[in-house]
A and B are shown apart, each in its own frame.
Chain A
Amino acid sequence: MERTLIVFCHPALEKSRTNRALIEGVADLDGVTVSDLYERYPDFLIDVKREQDQLVEHERIVWQFPLFWYSTPSLMKEWMDVVFQYGWAYGRGGNALAGKRVKAVVTTGADAGSYTAEGFNGHTVRDLLLPLERSARMCGMEFAEPLVFYDALKLDGGGLARAVADYRKWLKEGD
Chain B
Amino acid sequence: MANESMFVSAFIYLVAAVVSVPVAKRLGLSSVLGYLVAGMLIGPFALRLVGEEGQAVMHFSEFGVVMMLFLIGLELRPSMLWRMRLPIIGLGGSQVVLTTLAVTGGALAIGLGWQMALAVGLILALSSTAIVMQSLQEKGLGGTEAGRSAFSVLLFQDIAVIPILAALPLLATLPAAGGGGHDGGGNVLSDWLSHQPGWMNTLMVLGAVVGIIFAGRFVLQPLLALVAGTRVREAFVALALVLVIGIALLMNSLGVSAALGTFLAGVVLADSPYRHELESDIEPFKGILLGVFFISVGASIDFSLVAGNPWLVAGIVAGLFVAKALVLFVLGSFAGQGLDQRLIFSLYLAQGGEFGFVLLGMALSGGVLDERTCQVLVASVALSMALTPLVMLAEEKLVRPRFGTRVAGEREADEMAEDAPVILAGVGRFGNFVARMLRSQGVEVTVIDNDSEHIEFLRRLGIKAFYGDANRHDLLEAAGAAKASVLICTLGGEEQVARLISTARKHFPQLKIMVRAVSRNHEYELVEEGLDFVIHQNAGSAIQMAEAALRELGWRAHRASRAAKTFARHDHAATRALAGDHRDETTYIKRVRQSLSELEELFEQDAKRRERESATPWDAIQLRKDSAAGYPDAGGAKDGD
Contact = CB atoms under 8 A, between A and B. Distances in A.
B631 A135 contact: no
Interface string B609-641: 000011001100011001000010110111000
Contacts of A90: 633, 636-637
A60 B613 CA distance: 28
B639 to A, nearest CB: 11
Contacts of B637: 84, 86, 89-91, 135, 138
A165 B638 CA distance: 38
B633 A92 contact: yes
A81 B617 contact: yes
Nearest to B621: A86
Contacts of B634: 86, 91-92
Contacts of B631: 91-92
B442 to A, nearest CB: 14
B562 interface: yes
B562 A86 contact: no
Interface residues of B, number: 17
Given A86-B637, A92-B633, A45 B569 contact: yes
A79 to B, nearest CB: 10
Interface string B562-581: 10011001000000000000
A86 B622 contact: yes
B636 to A, nearest CB: 6
B633 A91 contact: yes
Interface residues of A, number: 16
A87 B619 CA distance: 13
Contact of B566 (A45, A91, A138): A45
Given A90-B636, A91-B633, A43 B565 contact: yes
Residue from A89, A92, A94 having most chain B Cβ neighbours under 10 A: A92
B565 A45 contact: yes
Interface in A25-51: 43, 45, 48
A89 B562 CA distance: 23
A82 interface: yes
Contacts, number: 43
Nearest to B558: A44
A175 B508 CA distance: 52
A43 B614 CA distance: 20
Given A86-B622, A92-B626, A48 B617 contact: yes
Contact of A85 (B562, B614, B636): B614
Contacts of B626: 91-92
B635 to A, nearest CB: 9
A86 B623 contact: yes
A148 B345 CA distance: 72
Contacts of A89: 637
A92 B631 CA distance: 8
A45 B567 CA distance: 11
A82 B562 CA distance: 13
B433 to A, nearest CB: 19
A87 to B, nearest CB: 6
Interface string B589-626: 00000000000000000000000011001100011001
Contacts of A81: 617-618, 638
A91 B631 CA distance: 8
A87 B638 CA distance: 12
Interface in A136-173: 138
Interface string B114-140: 000000000000000000000000000
Interface of B: 562, 565-566, 569, 613-614, 617-618, 622-623, 626, 631, 633-634, 636-638
Given A91-B631, A138-B636, 14 more contacts: A43-B565, A45-B562, A45-B569, A48-B617, A81-B617, A85-B613, A86-B613, A86-B614, A86-B623, A90-B636, A91-B626, A91-B633, A91-B634, A92-B634
Query: Lowest 6 CB-CB distances: which A-B pairs, in order?
Result: A82-B617, A45-B565, A91-B633, A85-B614, A138-B637, A86-B623
9 contacts: A45-B565, A45-B566, A45-B569, A85-B617, A92-B626, A92-B631, A92-B633, A92-B634, A138-B637
